[in-house]
Chain A
Amino acid sequence: MSETEALESMVGGEYKYGFTTDVEYEDFPTGINEDIIREISRRKNEPEWVTEFRLEAFEKWKQMEEPDWPNVEYETPDFDKVQYYSATKKKNKNKPESLDDVDPEIIETYKKLGIPLEEQKQLQGIAVDAVFDSESIFTTFKEKLAEAGVIFCSISEAIQDHPELVKEYLGSVVPKGDNFYAALNSAVFSDGSFVYVPKDTVCPMELSTYFRINNMQSGQFERTLIICEDNSQVSYLEGCTAPMFQENQLHAAVVELVALENAEIKYSTIQNWYSGDEEGQGGIFNFVTKRGHCRGDNSKISWTQVETGSAITWKYPSVIMQGDGSIGEFFSVAVTNNRQQADTGTKMIHVGKNTKSTIISKGISAGKSNNSYRGQVKISPRADGAQNYSVCDSMLIGQTCGAHTFPYIESANPTAKVEHEASTSRVGEDQIFYLQQRGMDEDDAISLIVNGFCKEVLKELPMEFAVEADKLLGIKLEGSVG
């Protein structure tokens, strides 16, 4: 088999998570207007201030235009055809006390996805919040976390049980009218995770959320809020999959992280939404606003992402380093294949003194895809001694894809130091030749080279997921080097 063929056959790796689950949904109208927003709020039994929050966001959203600056092309979703709330019918209206109350079909779905919800079957030390379309199905290890004082639940539950915390922090990092899709999310947000780590606490286990879009018409608008009080630490991981549909589905999430003094938040994502077929038919529009705020001195926020799915990705996990000595990190691997388009990167805003940020971004494009890195590093006038180091490397596989780098760097402080470097290259024939000569077959050789290229990022992932990411990369790029 020629090199090219070997690569192509590799790229064709199938999407394993493309099945649908047959469940009954509650009726909910499509489209967006004030009544629908009130209806979402009513079904979720939300207090008045949340309804107000949604309506204000909706007002702002109506005034806004969809941004056109990302380097992606797609047809704007018809916002009137999206179903903004999608919940399954339940046997009883109360929150599930145990797994027995959860629809067995859904439990089966998660099992198939490799996420058993039964605690005894779980990987040790990881608590999971499972979100199915618009609602959180079940959260494991709640009691154990509660012993340590950590609150881990869905945001809907948090609104009911801890309204004072949610009220204080919701929208404080990503304001209601921050951008087009953040405003839309603020108006219709469904479920997502809420994490609160009190002072002087190291969260005893990894927290994770598994998002699944199942309903063909529905969009997913999850909202995640993580608060880490003084001297605390938490590590959080999200994973996402969706069935294969011909139609595009919209996923517009907002994630807000708040780190107070000496706190440390590590947020990892493995994004594997359905990316559409080879011709670019179907797939998820992934328009996400993720932002962390280092509010306290010496706090640290670290984003790690492995982006392999979605038809269109449009995502810039950012850190605002306000506290003196705070640290922001961004580690990313973005892989695009077939007709996927990704415009992703980060923003590092240095406000406090002696703040430090690191950006390591690896983009791999194959097939007919386009992969862009877009980042901003901004040093404000009072950020004395701020430091940034960025590397963004791209790798092209095949002759029909594109790699783009758009780093914006701004410094208004003479004591700051900013370094940025980027390179574009490919899997070299000589590298493959060398490995083949040592007895590896071509696919293994490519896989090894790609993994080496991404190593700096993959090593940032929590151990269990690093293994998964490794495999994912292999599948994604099977047979794509030429």
Chain B
Amino acid sequence: MAKLKQSNQSFLQDLLSFQGSLNGKSQFLDEVRLKGAEEVKNIPFPHRKDEDWRFISLRDLYTDDYELATRLDVSVPDISEHYLPESEGSRMVFVNGVYSEEHSQAEALPDEVEIGNIADLASEDHPLLKEHLGKYGNFEDDVFSSFNTAFLDDGAFIHVPKGVKVDAPIHLLFVQTEADVNYFATSRCLVLADESSEVTIVEDYIGLGDNKYFNLPVFEVNLEEEAYVKHTKIQRESKEAIHLARTGAFVAKHANYESYTITRGAKLSRNEPRISQRDEEVEFTVDGLVLIDGDQVSDTHSVMDHRFSHAESHQLHKCVINGKAHSVFNGKIFVRKDAQKIDSFQENRNLLLSRKGLVNTKPQLEIFADDVVCTHGATIGQLEEEEMFYLKSRGLNDQQARELLIYAFALETIENISVESVQKLLVDEVHKFTERQLDSQLTA
């Protein structure tokens, strides 16, 4: 047993041997990576005894060997079906972590917007990149974000200057291909929204095959005063993949950050959004939808950190669980001392459809200011018999009624997403999920 523990502690450290292949292009990035590697060596690998990791096992991750994704030589199939029509001319594509210039476009964006690959900008010593990179992750003592930093190379950098409103949603498409070996990728995004700017980002992960790999993305976003960022994340990694993602957002005065995370793929996935207030009077939303079946495990650990007065925050997290799937939710709402007049809402609703499914949920309030209104709720249940009866009495058969109800349950989290094609895509995903759910029920 002791041996096993030691082996998972060294798991990430052993992979650091691949790091050398990245060096030499930019002194700045070399130093950043070196720092990341140091942290990886000093931060303990999570253990099930840690409160934050007690419900999921990382065994599937650390019991395999992996190759660095960017070293693979793979042919890229046609991926145009995954493009969003609204983002023609505002798209960045990464294949197995490598920036693909031929698939990317930026001509629909206003000239003032700076968009580019982190590795390229770093070699030019881009001042904004150097100033802001790594400042908004806010993940101290997290070995996975340090590991991401240790392999920081290609990635998306977006800077929207003061007063610029970007109409076209920017599509960041991360494609993971099939390969003969297990591999790992660590994508990175940095979004800087200056004063009174507006931008919509779609962060999109797709696994093209059914192969095993792990992905540890980190997404950083900074909102200056009165900035408005709409961030949708869609995770459709391969059925065998492991996806452990972090999102760090800092929100300044009068700014508004909206995030919607859709989890559909990966065998094991974990999302850790952390939203921190930088000043008074902000708004933020951290909604999520999880649709899992088979032996999928999905974990969401969110932090809404209210540090100053007058914030309004909203979190609606919904999960549909079928098969042997396991869903975990831990939503922390912090209200620091003197952060008065906070209005925070959190709700986690779970639809548990199968005998073998499992739900763990732990909404959490930690409040140190007295003049606040914070509520949270959590429910676990199944389809209401009365609702089923009602629909059936209107002529729907059992299947149709179930499908309609699951669909309606999931839809609430989707309908606020502003990009039409993304909404449509998600509606299709929900549809496919309910269909599969019904198939498995019929065969069971």
Contacts of B360 on A, CB cut-off 8 Å?
408-410
| B366 in the interface (beta carbon within 8 A) | yes
B238 to chain A, nearest CB (A): 27
Check B365–A403 contact: CB distance below 8 A: yes
Q: How far is the CA of A22 from the CA of B382 in the complex (A)?
A: 62
Stretch from B182-190, B203-211, B373-381 at the A interface: B373-381
In contact, B363 and A420 (Cβ under 8 angstroms): yes
Instruction: Assess whether B362 is in contact with A482, with CB atoms less than 8 Å apart.
Output: no
Q: Looking at the complex, which of A91-99, A242-250, A390-398, A453-461 is the stretch in contact with chain B?
A: A390-398
A148 within 8 A of B: no
| Surface stretch bound by A, among B101-109, B349-357, B421-429 | B349-357
A residues 85-142 in Cβ contact with B at 8 Å? none
| CB within 8 Å: A-B pair count | 115
Taking a contact as CB atoms under 8 Å apart, the answer to whether B352 and A424 are in contact is no
B residues near A411, Cβ cutoff 8 Å: 350, 352, 358-359, 380
Q: Check A426 for interface membership: any CB of B closer than 8 A.
A: yes
Q: A409-B378, A414-B353, A416-B380 are in contact. Are A397 and B362 (CB under 8 A)?
A: no
Contact of A398 among B354, B366, B370 (CB under 8 A): B370
CB contacts (< 8 Å) of A401 on chain B: these are 368, 370
- Interface footprint category on B: 35 or more
Q: How far is the CB of A369 from chain B (nearest CB, A)?
A: 11
| Distance A419 CA – B378 CA, assembled complex (angstroms) | 6
CA distance A402 to B369 in the complex (A): 7
Check if B374 sits within 8 Å of A424, measured CB to CB.
yes
B362 contact set on A, CB distance < 8 A: 406-409
Instruction: Judge if B82 is at the interface, Cβ distance under 8 Å.
Output: no
**Known: A381-B355, A402-B367. Contact between A424 and B378, CB under 8 A?**
no
Q: Does A405 contact B (CB under 8 A)?
A: yes
Chain A residue nearest to B376 (CB atoms) is A422
Contact at B370–A420, with CB atoms within 8 Å? Answer: no
> Which residue of B359, B375, B380 is within 8 Å of A421 (Cβ)?
B375
B373 partner, pick from A397, A415, A421, A424, beta carbons under 8 A: A424
Shortest distance from the beta carbon of B259 to any chain A beta carbon, whole Å: 23
Which of A397, A409, A418 meets B370, CB within 8 Å? A397
Residues of A within 8 A of B375 (CB): 421-424
The smallest C-beta distance from B43 to any residue of chain A, in angstroms, reads: 20
How many residues of chain A get a CB closer than 8 Å to chain B's CBs? 36
DSSP class of B's interface residues: helix, strand, loop or mixed?
strand
A67 to chain B, nearest CB (A): 12
- Cβ-closest chain B residue relative to A387: B381
A412 beta carbon closer than 8 Å to chain B: yes
Whether B367 contacts A414 by the Cβ 8 Å rule is no
Interface presence of A399 (CB below 8 A): yes
If A410-B360, A423-B374 touch, whether A404 touches B366 (CB-CB below 8 Å) is yes
- Residues of chain B within 8 A (CB-CB) of A217 are none
Q: How far is the CB of A316 from chain B (nearest CB, A)?
A: 15
Is there contact, CB below 8 Å, between B352 and A405? no
- The reply on A413 being an interface residue by CB < 8 A is yes
Partner of B361, one of A402, A409, A424, A425: A409
Contact check: which of B350, B361, B366, B370 meets A426 at CB < 8 Å? B370
Q: A69 at interface (Cβ–Cβ under 8 A)? A: yes
B371-A422 in contact (CB<8A):
no
**Pairwise interchain contact A424-B364, C-beta atoms closer than 8 A:** no
Question: Does A399 lie within 8 Å of B338, measured CB to CB?
Answer: yes
Verify if B337 is at the interface (C-beta below 8 Å from A).
yes
Contact of A420 (CB < 8 Å), options: B338, B366, B374, B379: B379
Of B365, B368, B369, chain A has the most CB atoms within 10 Å of the CB of: B365
Distance in Å: Cβ of B441 to nearest Cβ of chain A:
11
Determine whether the beta carbon of B370 is less than 8 Å from that of A394. no
Q: Write the residues of chain A forming the contact surface with B, with a CB cutoff of 8 angstroms.
A: 69, 379, 381, 394, 396-426, 482
Interchain Cβ contacts under 8 Å between A and B, 28 examples? A69-B51, A381-B355, A398-B370, A399-B369, A401-B370, A404-B364, A404-B366, A405-B366, A407-B364, A411-B358, A412-B358, A412-B359, A414-B354, A416-B352, A416-B380, A416-B381, A417-B382, A418-B379, A419-B379, A420-B377, A420-B378, A421-B377, A423-B374, A423-B375, A424-B367, A424-B373, A425-B372, A425-B374
**Extra contacts besides A399-B340, A399-B369, A405-B376 (11): CB < 8 Å:** A399-B370, A401-B368, A401-B370, A404-B367, A407-B363, A411-B352, A412-B357, A412-B358, A414-B353, A416-B380, A420-B379
Closest 9 CB pairs of A and B: A396-B370, A405-B365, A418-B380, A421-B377, A423-B375, A411-B380, A424-B374, A420-B378, A426-B370
